[in-house]
């Protein structure tokens, strides 16, 4: 079974995310990057499926050159192959532009399953996976917190407001996984060494026959008009517990009529 995992490499958790006033985009250059934990869970899901059913995993991401570190991480976990969509022409793509680039790269591969994290941990839009599936013409099984494959049939538990639904489809299909689906493995030294030898394939927008009307800022349907500070909530009272803080909270709750 050939599985393509689409995931993001994002500023690592030590970085305070900022928006650059000029471009109105998130600052991504010159900050340390890591494989998005949500993407790592998607890679883990794919690795477990190929361990069970045979085949291999290809990791696909779009990002600036700094994101290579996260691609190496996916390879060290056990992905056999990686594709990096790297080109200034992709900068400023909105969700649909990103989906078009990913779909164009996937179309050039053979695959049975595409697995994406439901949403990245830095922008949370959560709609790119279904856009990719729609562009590829394959069914999108979303918000999966459990995945199994039998023969040509894939079945997921799809998170719902009240529990989950059991949903099934024929391959090829796309799955988006929730962050809690599984704990990503920690790469072993052997994997890290092997990953260094793997050549990361790269595509530019031109390689994928995507023009400025398809990807990048010029193609974006969504335009950011302004970015500013949020309305501040007036800070209240902060007290040091002197041994009576529990009573003080009770007093406050009583003043609100809660007790």
Q: Which of residues 107-126 bind another protein (CB under 8 A)?
A: 119, 122, 124-126
Q: Which residues pair with 175 in a beta bridge?
A: 115, 141
- Least separation, in Å, of the C-beta of 20 and another protein? 11
Q: Is residue 209 close enough to count as binding another protein by CB under 8 A? A: no
Q: Which stretch binds another protein (CB under 8 A): 47-55, 75-83, 188-196, 250-258?
A: 250-258
- The Cα 38–Cα 44 span in angstroms is 10
Tell me the backbone φ, ψ of residue 99, rounded to 5 degrees. Answer: -65, -40
Q: Which stretch binds another protein (CB under 8 A): 58-66, 67-75, 199-207, 216-224?
A: 216-224
Q: Is residue 96 close enough to count as binding another protein by CB under 8 A? A: yes
- The Cα 163–Cα 47 span in angstroms is 26
CB nearer another protein, residue 75 or residue 147: 147
Q: Please report, as residue ranges, which positions from 33 to 62 form the binding site for another protein (by CB under 8 A).
A: none
Of residues 63, 166, 170, 44, the one with CA closest to residue 122: 63
CB nearer another protein, residue 166 or residue 189: 166
Q: Is residue 180 close enough to count as binding another protein by CB under 8 A? A: yes
Q: Is residue 29 close enough to count as binding another protein by CB under 8 A? A: no
Cα atoms found within 13 Å of the Cα of residue 138, Cβ hemisphere only: 24
In the set 73, 84, 158, 203, which binds another protein (CB under 8 A)? 158
- Cα-only R_g, the chain: 22
Q: Which stretch binds another protein (CB under 8 A): 73-81, 150-158, 191-199, 200-208?
A: 150-158
- Least separation, in Å, of the C-beta of 244 and another protein? 8
Element containing residue 77 per DSSP (H, E):
helix 68-77
Name every residue whose Cβ is closer than 8 Å to that of residue 95 and which is 6 or more positions away in sequence. 125, 127, 128, 131, 222
């Amino acid at each position: 079974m050939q599985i393509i995992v689409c995931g993001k490499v994002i500023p690592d958790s030590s970085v305070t995310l900022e928006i650059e006033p000029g471009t109105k985009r998130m600052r991504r250059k010159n900050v340390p990057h890591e494989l998005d934990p949500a993407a790592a869970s998607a890679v883990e899901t794919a690795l477990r499926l190929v361990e069970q059913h045979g085949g291999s995993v290809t990791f696909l991401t779009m990002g600036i050159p700094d994101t290579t570190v996260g691609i190496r991480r996916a390879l060290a976990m056990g992905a056999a192959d990686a594709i990096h969509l790297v080109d200034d022409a992709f900068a400023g793509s909105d969700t649909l532009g990103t989906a078009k680039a990913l779909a164009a790269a996937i179309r050039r591969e053979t695959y049975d399953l595409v697995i994406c994290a439901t949403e990245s941990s830095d922008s949370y839009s959560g709609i790119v996976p279904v856009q990719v599936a729609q562009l590829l013409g394959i069914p999108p099984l979303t918000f999966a917190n459990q995945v199994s494959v039998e023969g040509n049939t894939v079945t997921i538990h799809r998170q719902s407001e009240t529990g989950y639904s059991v949903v099934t489809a024929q391959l090829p299909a796309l799955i988006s996984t929730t962050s809690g689906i599984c704990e990503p493995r920690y790469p072993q030294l052997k994997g890290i060494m092997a990953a260094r030898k793997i050549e990361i394939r790269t595509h530019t927008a031109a390689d994928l026959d995507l023009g400025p009307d398809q990807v990048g800022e010029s193609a974006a349907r969504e335009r950011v008009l302004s970015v500013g500070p949020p309305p501040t909530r007036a800070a209240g009272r902060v007290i040091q517990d002197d041994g009576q803080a529990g009573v003080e909270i009770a007093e406050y709750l009583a003043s609100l009529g809660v007790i």
